[in-house]
Amino acid sequence: LIMKVTKYSGELVHYDEQKLINSLRKSGADQAMAETIVKEIESEMYEGISSKRIYKRAYQLLKNISNVHAARYNLRTALLGLGPAGFFFEKFIAKVMKEQGFQTKVSITLNGKCISHEIDVLLLKNDVVSMIECKFHSGQDAKSDVKVPMYILSRFNDLKDKKYDLFSAKRSISKCIIVTNNKFTTDAIQFGECSGLSMLSWDYPQKNGIKDLVDRFRVYPVTCLTTLTKAEKDQLLILDCITIKDLIQHPDYLKTIELSHNRTINVLKEANQLTN
């Protein structure tokens, strides 16, 4: 099908059928299911259709077949649901790191050489302390540009030469990681890597971005559940139930937000399928 699609940024690009099939396959749909959904979408397409509209339709069609596939497909939007302030995104990133064997602390204020800094997440592993600075965007097309690593590098430089009481010992911070739920510009990555900063975004580093880590460690945010309303997801976040694993470990959260018995069964079924 030869057609132009309008991206989130407003840019017109050629429609790529294979890209759509791949994203559906990644969510867990088999080849036949993916092709059926693509055929259905293509029959409704028109010149200049927005990629957002295609995505929404694919999500609806997936949801009709499988909540779990739809939840996985919805991951990027689910990360936006951890906003608008980004505080829940910081907690979520701490959980992703914990799955990889790090000890974590969230929202710590430390006095640097010149000024005090609030650090989003601190990590400890193999006696190395790293600081994470999160850059949360509530729009899907916003990118973190070169000013972000420049600014964070100066903060890291103000902190790294001092020793602090961290994780029950005197330690210095020797590594800095910048994390965004969206993407970095090429300049941002180039400057960050050249300056010795680690960068983590939706799709960077290749095969090791947030989307890959979430799938690998099955550490999905509660915001990707298709069996809950937005208001219910927000209530869970406020209760500090950030990931689906948190929910499975503490199913009483669903009682706290006054979910009916039947809906509780459905939500926990979807949660367990996602983590298995």
Model pLDDT for residues 231-270, shown as the tens digit of each residue: 999 999 999 999 999 999 999 999 999 999 999 999 999 9
Mean pLDDT of 111-122: 97
The predicted structure's pLDDT at residue 139: 85
Report yes or no: 82 and 181 within 8 Å, Cβ to Cβ: yes
Average pLDDT over residues 3-17: 92
- Look at residue 131 in the predicted model and tell me its pLDDT: 98
Question: What pLDDT shows up at residue 98?
Answer: 97
As a whole-number percent, the residues of the chain with pLDDT over 70 amount to 100
- Tell me what pLDDT residue 153 has: 98
Angle at 100 between CA 90 and CA 191, to 5 degrees: 60
Q: What is the pTM of this model?
A: 0.92
276 pLDDT exceeds 90?
no
pLDDT at 86 over 90: no
Q: Using the predicted structure, report yes or no on whether residue 84 has a pLDDT greater than 90.
A: no
Q: What is the mean pLDDT of residues 11-36?
A: 94
pLDDT tens string 100-110: 999 999 999 99
* pLDDT confidence of residue 91: 98
Mean pLDDT of 20-38: 94
Residue 141 has pLDDT above 90, yes or no: no
In this prediction, residue 8 has a pLDDT band, given cuts at 50, 70 and 90, of confident
* Band (158; pLDDT cuts 50, 70, 90): very high
| Distance between CA atoms of residues 149 and 138, nearest Å | 19
Residue 4 has what pLDDT?
95
Tokens of 188: 């941002």
Residue 116 vs residues 108, 111, 122, 136, 144: alpha-carbon distances, Å: 10, 4, 15, 21, 24
Confidence category of residue 114, pLDDT binned at 50, 70, 90: very high
Q: How much is the pLDDT for 108?
A: 96
Average pLDDT, the chain: 95
**Number of Cα atoms under 13 Å in the Cβ half of residue 200:** 22
- For the segment 212-229, the average pLDDT, to the nearest whole number, is 96
User: At residue 107, what are phi and psi to the nearest 5 degrees?
Assistant: 55, 75
